[in-house]
Amino acid sequence: MGRGTPPVICTPIASLTRCCPHPCQRGLEKGRRSWENLPFVTDMHAGRRAAFIAAGLAAPLILITVLVATDFGPLLSFDVEVTESWSGAVADTGWADFFRVVAVVGAPWVVRVALLGVAISLALRRRIRPALWTLTVVLVTGPAWALLKWLMHRQRPDLLEQIGGWSFPSGHAAEIAAGMAVLVALTTRDVRRALVRRLLVGVWLAIAVLVGLDRIFVGAHYPSDVLGGWLLGALVVFATSAAFGVAGTDPAPPAERPLSTMPENFKTLAVILNPIKIDDPETFKTRVGVATRAAGWDEPLWFETTIDDAGSSMARAAVAAGSDVVVVAGGDGTVRVVCSEMAGTGVPVGVIPVGTGNLLARNLGIPLSRGQALDTVLRGQDRAIDVVRIEGDKLAPTRFVVMAGLGLDAAIMDGAPDALKARIGWSAYAVSAARHLRYPAVRVDISIDGAEPVRRRARTVVIGNVGSLQAGIPLLPDAEIDDGLLDVVVIAPRRMYGWVGVVWRVLARRRRTDDRLDRYTGRSVVMKAAHATPRQLDGDTVGAGTELRAEIEPGLLLVRVPR
């Protein structure tokens, strides 16, 4: 609890729940879990949904294939009339040149190369399942439409005799439908801001429609060819999705995790709300109350943060009121303050992420959807995690749960205004990072576990209790939130172009270290900068200073996570 308040539980929670907390087991456990915890996980229900959609696409594809194969008169008349009308309308105009460009840009080989790039990007970020799924779509789509063309032997329209090959189905339409369907799936799972997600999905669908209709305008295909291609491409995507069981892209909770064995006869729920982060606090309270009562809990207790108190006194009051679970609904800063107070109390913390980064939730596999996060609070399990005690010059002793940093990362946090974060979410940090690429290096002495300090000229030094940033970027690939260790990364590119190599090594999870990218592990860290430098704790700047002293506190906090 806070200073001067004796904790309810004096021993680390990890001692009650972990079978072997010694850090030497971390490497063995990682190797065993590396395939179990892939970001896209096999989900029976998701696989069934994809299979049903695939079946729904197969039916019209079979129907239109049969109609084309039997030379169904009304369809043939419609095909010829539309193709001649559309291609004739743009002939000898500027639109004809435009559609010829679209034909080249949307060529099947271009789409395949783009999807291979997506697959490689996913693989470098250790998202193996979606990478394999995307690669499978690439390998299956081309042979599928080529085989169907060979079986159908449909002649192309007479308008473009220079184009060889058969007409049904359109290879362009099949490839672009498959490619855009993959991007729609990834966008739906990766992009959390509803407006941005809808805009991107609209763009992908518009591209698929444009490339398909382009085949009619240039006179290369009939409308039924294009429709057949669209259906075939989408069918490949959903059929392979059903086979892979693609379910989500947020880090999944590991299959074997130390979970609390405390009895779950909880009744009292306290919610600490940051009202600035919620558009309509009263509606939010009503929905939480309804869900809580429906799950058999008592009416929740409500506490709101203020400008002067980000959650400390509210957390103490919630525990004093006898709460069985204390929920924090806010951004990373509010979550940090509440968790700092709750550490050592034995009362689990539930997280409803409503901020910009939501890094604790992302790294614990807590859903970013408010409704699903609340369901995790009410029906999830408790997991013991580490917290980090930290202090420094002009920084009173406190705790963080995600990451602390000195240098560029703090400048990036400080340079992302709230208004921009409200509009574009965590992408505001990317904008701020681009503005600070020339941030100067500072001389820093780093001591791990009391050893002789190592001197580095660094752009930034980050102490991590977790490993991943937004979008699953593995800044500290070996960090685990319950391993009893701190992970430290020192980033020091010498020149602007040096950032390219650093970013590549981070995304590729390269283990090689040097004076440009160095890593350390220990139970305590002391950093001393040559002059006052910006500092941050879990995304909140805490003022410039020259020193940070951090020490791990293993298993001191219980957090509600999905079952």
Q: Tell me: the pLDDT tens digits for 466-515?
A: 988 876 778 888 889 999 999 999 998 887 777 788 888 887 777 778 87
pLDDT tens digits for 204-257? 999 999 999 999 998 888 999 999 999 999 999 988 887 776 544 333 344 444
CA distance 129 to 41: 7
Looking at domain 14-34+255-387, does it have CATH number 3.40.50.10330? yes
Q: How do strand 535-537 and strand 403-407 relate by DSSP bridges?
A: antiparallel
CA distance 350 to 326: 6
CA distance 367 to 375: 9
Average pLDDT over residues 61-72: 91
CA dihedral 308, 312, 318, 323 (to 10 degrees): 150
- Give the architecture (CATH level 2) of 396-553: Sandwich (2.60)
Of residues 528, 373, 501, 378, the one with CA closest to residue 442: 528
pLDDT over threshold 60, residue 258: no
pLDDT tens digits for 172-182? 999 999 999 99
SS3 for 300? coil
CA distance 222 to 215: 8
The per-residue pLDDT for 25 is: 41
Span(s) in the chain for CATH 2.60.200.40 = 396-553
532 is written with which tokens?
A: 């006052």
Dihedral class, residue 125 (left if φ above 0, else alpha if ψ from -120 to 50, else beta): alpha
Amino acid symbol at 465: N
- Write the CB contacts of 528 (distance below 8 Å, at least 6 apart in sequence): 444, 445, 453, 546, 547
Q: If you search the block for the tokens 């968790």, which residue do you land on?
A: 339
- Write the CB contacts of 296 (distance below 8 Å, at least 6 apart in sequence): 267
Instruction: Give the pLDDT band (50/70/90) at residue 551.
Output: very high
- Residue 79: Cβ-neighbour burial (10 angstroms; 0-12, 13-18, 19+): buried
Letter string b/e over residues 502-516, b meaning 16 or more CB atoms within 10 A of that residue's CB = eeebbbeeeeeeeeb
DSSP annotation string for 184-227: HHHHHHH--SHHHHHHHHHHHHHHHHHHHHHHHHTTSS-HHHHH
Choose from 37-41, 263-267, 540-544 the range with maximum mean pLDDT: 540-544
pLDDT tens digits for 288-340? 999 999 888 889 999 999 988 988 999 999 999 999 999 999 888 899 999 99
Q: How do strand 349-353 and strand 325-330 relate by DSSP bridges?
A: parallel
Span(s) in the chain for CATH 3.40.50.10330 = 14-34+255-387
CA distance 339 to 124: 33
Instruction: Give the pLDDT band (50/70/90) at residue 436.
Output: confident
The per-residue pLDDT for 163 is: 66
CB 339 within 8 A of CB 312: no
The structure's pTM equals 0.55
SS3 for 56? helix
CA distance 262 to 384: 12
Average pLDDT over residues 187-202: 81
pLDDT tens digits for 344-403? 999 999 999 988 788 899 899 898 888 899 999 999 999 999 999 999 998 899 999 999
Please give the mean pLDDT across all residues of the chain.
82
Amino acid symbol at 339: C
Percent of the chain topping pLDDT 70 = 84
CB 273 within 8 A of CB 327: no
Average pLDDT over residues 423-428: 66
CA distance 516 to 391: 27
Of residues 482, 473, 491, the one with CA closest to residue 383: 482
CA distance 66 to 226: 15
pLDDT tens digits for 361-376? 989 989 888 889 999 9
The full length of the chain comes to 563
